[in-house]
């Protein structure tokens, strides 16, 4: 679960055919299946899981719609879980990679660590494990960052943000520094719980992430 209110203050979270014909028809079908196997895997928390929204309303679902229309041969698997931490993501990544064999992995985790005041070194190590696992599986990585409120202290907030930047540089990943940047200053963009963006704000998040994700889908 994420606290966008804190984030706001931080910025002021087929019928039978003859054999020959069948083989000829199978070739383009096989090619299409191969393309369809190219997967974008999302590993995130409630922001990516679409907490409080209909299944079709979240920014990941909207991204899947855009990919279906503009990037033939790609599909989306959303393995995000509300309340997920980097430790949870690190424990699940191997299984998700084996099941889905993604070409691109989007990692949107860390905010729940920060809001619980977990040690920065621990969060960094977990994110690093996820990046290493994805790259070992020959997947490109997009690291999606978050920012923490100033009440956690300057050293913690700066270190938290630095984790994403330094890991991205170390492993040559794509980086989106702050997922909520397009809406974080707008209280009206959040649900009544003051924790998650509303449905009408989700396209802004989709478009924000697309600036980095779109060019990766070649």
Catalytic residue numbers, as ranges:
46, 193, 196
DSSP assignments along 182-218, one per residue: TTTT-GGGB-TTSSSB-GGGHHHHHHHHHHHHGGG--
Closest CA to 143 of 66, 217, 61, 43: 43
Closest CA to 163 of 174, 179, 147, 152: 147
Question: In degrees rounded to 5, what are phi and psi of residue 216?
Answer: -80, -15
- DSSP bridge partners of 176: 144
Are residues 197 and 183 in contact, defined by beta-carbon separation less than 8 angstroms? yes
Task: Give the C-alpha separation, 90 to 97, whole Å.
Answer: 11
């Amino acid at each position: 679960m994420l606290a966008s209110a804190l984030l706001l203050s931080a910025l002021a979270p087929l019928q039978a055919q003859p054999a020959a014909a069948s083989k000829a028809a199978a070739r383009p079908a096989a090619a299409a299946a191969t393309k369809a196997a190219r997967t974008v895997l999302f590993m995130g928390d409630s922001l990516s899981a679409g907490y409080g929204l209909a299944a079709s309303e979240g920014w990941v679902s909207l991204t899947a719609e855009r990919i279906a229309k503009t990037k033939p041969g790609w599909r989306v698997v959303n393995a995000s879980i509300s309340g997920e931490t980097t430790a949870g993501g690190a424990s699940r990544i191997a299984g998700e990679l084996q099941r889905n064999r993604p070409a691109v992995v989007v990692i949107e985790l860390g905010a729940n660590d920060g809001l619980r005041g977990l040690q920065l070194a621990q969060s960094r190590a977990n994110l690093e494990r996820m990046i290493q696992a994805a790259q070992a599986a020959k997947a490109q990585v997009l690291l999606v960052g978050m920012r923490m409120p100033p009440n956690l202290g300057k050293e913690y907030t700066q270190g938290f943000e630095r984790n994403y930047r330094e890991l991205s540089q170390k492993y040559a990943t794509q980086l989106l520094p702050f997922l909520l940047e397009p809406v974080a200053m707008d209280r009206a963009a959040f649900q009544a719980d003051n924790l998650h963006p509303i449905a009408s704000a989700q396209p802004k998040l989709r478009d924000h992430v697309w600036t980095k994700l779109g060019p990766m889908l070649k």
